[in-house]
Structure 1
Amino acid sequence: MPERGTRTVFVGGEVFDGSRAAPVAADVVIEGGRIVAVGAGLDGDVAVDATGRAILPGLMDCHVHVMVDSVDLMAHLQRPFSYAFYLAIGHLAAMLDCGITTVRDAGGADLGVKQAVEDGLIEGPRMKTAISILGQTGGHTDGWQPSGIDASLFPPHPGRPDPIVDGPDEMRRKVRELVRAGADVIKICTSGGVVSPRDDPRHAHFGADELGVCVAEASAAGISVMAHAQGAAGIKNAIRAGIRSIEHGIYLDDEAIDMMLDAGTFLVPTLSAPQAVIDAAAAGAALPDVVVAKAHEVVTVHRESFAKAVAAGVRIAMGTDSGVGRHGDNLTELALMTGAGMKPDEVLVAATRTAAELLGVDRELGTIEPGKRADLVLVDGDPFDVAALKSNISAVYKDGRRVR
């Protein structure tokens, strides 16, 4: 790694700056972990030959779960509690291999995981964390089973508050507990889900009073709210409450799309997730029949809803729900997005600039321009060949340091 203060220049590459502009021939100079210049004929102390390569901003995945590696219930029940922390080390490394230098963990990772990355104890993308996923009794994060066993994927511990909440007063306390625990974002389930066997993704969860308190308390702490929202009614309730992003958005209708456009709400589609459940079941994962049936029911309508949102101009930020699917396969989401109507350049913007806007880090990340953090991905060949993007990545830099 170059010494601090060393000017490193990437020479001869084609720069995709995070806007929809076509890549242009330019050199990029970094120093002290920052981009200091972009242009022609630049020099530095150390040169990196980028001839024949595209230079992209570091990619972002706005919806991951680094503490899990599958939805196989039996596998989770057989593992010791602390095992998940060791799994996370490999998961974070696998995402760096994809050129992903920033993630938002949408439930599971606590402050210790994030701090371990920040301190350099483990290697991985920088993290924003939700810690616990708030759900109502009988909702998406309620692990109660008919046997009486609680099979929650993310059992509570001192750094991860219990996620079940009912009523405005409990909501106020729970959001405050999450803020105390170090959450960067509050995640709440405004509908049922696919992998939870005791609810229906089309049904709305939480009342307006509960959602209002959630958003107010988060706002008072200077953070935003993301909503697991799959059914149309739950999506609309989230938008009315002022929630910043809709996660999944499976059953979007025209009214919900219009509301998102009016409010400026982001959509994080996670098209990979239902297919990952289907693939896991086919591979023998221990999943309730009802979960597999729901995955089959939603996979097509999910893509159709996403296509409508894209056509209407909804702001899209890339997210995969990795953990449901395999960490390291994150970039398969890009091909699914193009298959459902997004152009390749739009997909790369969704994974860079728009993702940074959603996460509130766009002053530091998401584009290649002077002053930004030096998160760069070097790609052999055509960067718009998103289906081959992972295999074409030749180097990944985070804060100016080559990490892959």
Structure 2
Amino acid sequence: MGGMTMNCQICSSEELIHVASLGHHALPDVFVTPDEAAEPFTVYPLDFYVCGKCWLAQIGYRVDPALLFRDFVYTTESNPASKPHFERLVKSLVERFQLGRQDLAVDLASNDGTLLEQYGEDVRVLGVDPSSTTSRAIAKGLPTIVDFFTEATAKQILATYQPAKVITTMNAFAHIKELDAFMDGVVTLLAEDGVFVTESHHLQNVIAKMQYDLIHHEHLRFYSLKPLMVLFDRYGLEIFDVEETETQGGSILVYAGRAGVRPVSANVGRLLAQETAAGLYAIDTYEAWAARLVQSKQRLMSLLYELKSQGASIAGIGASAKGNTIVNYCGIRPDVLDYITDGSELKQGKLAPGSLIPVTADQELLDRQPEYALVLTSNLKDIIIRKLRGKGYQGKFIVTGDVPSVE
């Protein structure tokens, strides 16, 4: 079930501080056909909070996961940065933790199996994911359990497999509504010397780089190190290393194991000090960010309306959940964006959630050559701009941020 909560999603404190409201949004990955455009759709409040006790940043209204992921259309392989990143990560995991064919590596929220593929024949693998995207992994011959991960799922796995030497959850740890049930499963499945590896958007970048597009109903939480330490400690786990990565516009890759099993890297203390200096554990930071958020919206819409008043054609690039946050928070509609391009065939020919802007193939941008292209996936902007310039797009790019830029 979904609904509003006034308790912190990690520490259960009632000290939730309201930071900003982004309005009411349709589910970010539920696209409709043109024939369905006139039908009513449900919208949900999208509000940003921070816990005054453990400092977890989070949204207030949590949508029923069965609604969010029933028609989930995002596939890992559609993100051009994912495969090379996962190749490097898996190579590092195999070498650092000396994984062999006798070991089990489990990927939770395994999607289309892109990460599991990178293990090849070197390690025994298993994926767990509730969405329909698992059909692609199964078609590749990757063993996958199509279900939400809980303690019961972990026990089901242990009936057939040994405990997992490595458990990964990549860019999905913030999506999990029933976090306690998930963590119960992790500690049940994890080997005594096993490693739980998560990668999530880093809250520091959300604040510093005005990445409000990361706020949508699939992302329930926005992690910094301190609340993660609170969470893992409750389950007898300890963060022993952490890395900052460029994934998704800036993420933290966290390594946890059973408390006391592995020495704690100096990286952990360094990142905590960095986050403290950046103001992530002070309410003034969030109050200032909320004011910047409103200004960012006003500046972007002023620019877009000015260009449209001059008769300019503008397309959007990237019908992702992030892009739909920008579009719906700013109130962008088909009178401003002619269409949005996206590489996923599952979205093409449909209308974007809430805005009902047509979604087309990427080739449309090259064929029609609009004067401006609004980049709706800030985390991939450099890759997108380089790729489209190389393919011959001659117009100008609009990039969101505190102050939108034209490149």
TM-score greater than 0.5 by the shorter chain: no
Using the size of structure 1 for normalisation, the TM-score is 0.29
Using the size of structure 2 for normalisation, the TM-score is 0.29
| Structure number with higher relative contact order (C-alpha < 8 Å, ≥ 6 residues apart) | 1
